[in-house]
Amino acid sequence: MPSADFRIAHTSLARRSTDNLQRNLAALGRKQDEISSLKRLRRPSDSPVDAVSALRLRSDMGRNEQISRNIDDALGWLGIADNALTAVVEQLNRVRDLAIQARNASSDATARSGIASEVEKIRESLLGLANTEFNGRAVFAGTASADAAYDASGVYQGVSQAVERTVAPGVRVQINVNGDEVFGPTGDDLFLAVNQIANAIRTDPAQLDTLVADLDTRTETVKTRLAEVGTRYRRVETMKDRNTADALTMRQNLSNVEDTDLAQAVMELQLQEVAYQAALQATARAIQPSLVDFLR
């Protein structure tokens, strides 16, 4: 019968001991790298499941950053449009006041001429507001690439279509206001109406009652568009707050997947160092020079 006792060759024992020491040393090195980099996940082999999660989170964060840029652009467009339309309403109110002043029977021809000149200046100012730009594009020109929404005579140069931005996954918001929807179509536009008021102030004040009533209707149209812009602005602001919160959550989730729990890592490092020192001592005792080694 074979003997129950057997011996392990010295070279085999040394090789196994060395391999074990190398594994312990490698584990110790990995833990030191983890603490120095503060990253638990540095390569896919560290944790394939976590690596997939990290890739997915980074993709979501990239999409979140693009949406953040879209939101900032949308707020810029809507904010500029809001300021311009607010100024338009103020200018139209001034035209109305001047028209009523000119309708006063005590106003003579010279006074009315001065009032008409001011109304004409306001018309030029309204054209300037209608050509308001943001990032080099006319905000009231729709999708047109023209430098201005209106030419000097008040003819619309734009293309009346919606300009939209994605402000949340699956959510798009119109960020522009088409000029013909605010100021009216060419030939029946606000600039022509203001010009008619100026002419009536000079030549036929009796027409002013009818023209002022028409101006009031046009002013209400501008106010309606202004309210729509305000509503969209508040909606986009809400999306911005949500997008910011989502970004914080994503960064926290990515940190949970990739980053090191420093307290736990330090404790594991200490345990690994103890294990390595114990392995060194055990190996030193197991592989001791024998008398035969000295006789060789």
pLDDT tens for residues 17-32? 666 666 665 665 665 5
| CA 84 – CA 150 distance, rounded (Å) | 15
- Tell me, yes or no, whether 18 lies in a domain: no
Within a domain: residue 138?
yes
Q: Decide: 222 and 54 in contact? Cβ < 8 Å.
A: no
What pLDDT score was predicted for residue 291? 46
How many domains, in total, are found in the chain? 1
Q: Spell out the residues 6+ positions from residue 23 whose beta carbon is closer than 8 angstroms to its own.
A: none
* Token pair belonging to 196: 């008619």
Strand partners, 165: 173
Classify residue 93: in a domain, yes or no. Answer: yes
Question: What percent of the chain lies above the pLDDT cut of 70?
Answer: 70
Kindly state whether residue 57 falls inside one of the protein's structural domains: no
If pLDDT is split at 50, 70 and 90, which confidence band does 149 have? very high
Confirm whether 266 is domain-assigned: no
Cβ-Cβ contacts under 8 Å for 142 (sequence gap 6 or more): 158, 159, 160, 161, 162, 163, 176, 178, 179
C-alpha to C-alpha distance for 152 and 27, rounded to whole angstroms: 77
Region at 163 (left for phi over 0; alpha for psi -120 to 50; beta for the rest)? beta
Q: 259: pLDDT confidence band, cut at 50, 70 and 90?
A: low
The tens digit of pLDDT for each residue in 69-127 reads 999 999 999 999 999 999 999 999 999 999 999 988 677 888 899 999 999 999 999 99
pLDDT, tens digit, for every residue of 32-78? 565 555 566 566 666 677 777 878 888 889 999 999 999 999 999 99
Q: What is the mean pLDDT of the chain?
A: 83
Domain assignment present for residue 215? The answer is yes
Q: Is the pLDDT of residue 167 over 80?
A: yes
C-alpha span between 283 and 87 (Å, rounded): 86
Structural domain harbouring 124: 64-247
Calpha distance 9→15 (Å, rounded): 10
User: Does residue 29 lie within any of the structural domains?
Assistant: no
- Residue 113 has a pLDDT of 92
Which residue stretches of the chain are H helix?
10-37, 48-103, 109-130, 179-183, 190-203, 208-258, 262-286, 291-295
Q: Which helix (H) or strand (E) holds 172?
A: strand 171-174
Alpha carbon distance 265, 40 (integer Å): 9
The domain that holds 240 is classified in CATH as 1.20.1330.10
Angle between helix 208-258 and 48-103 (nearest 10): 170
- pLDDT at position 15 is 65
Q: What tokens appear for 14 in the block?
A: 């040394």
Q: Which helix (H) or strand (E) holds 171?
A: strand 171-174
Contact in structure between 99 and 243 (CB atoms under 8 Å): no
Residue 32 included in any domain: no
Here the tokens at position 80 are 């500029």
Range with the lowest mean pLDDT among 124-138, 216-230, 240-254?
240-254
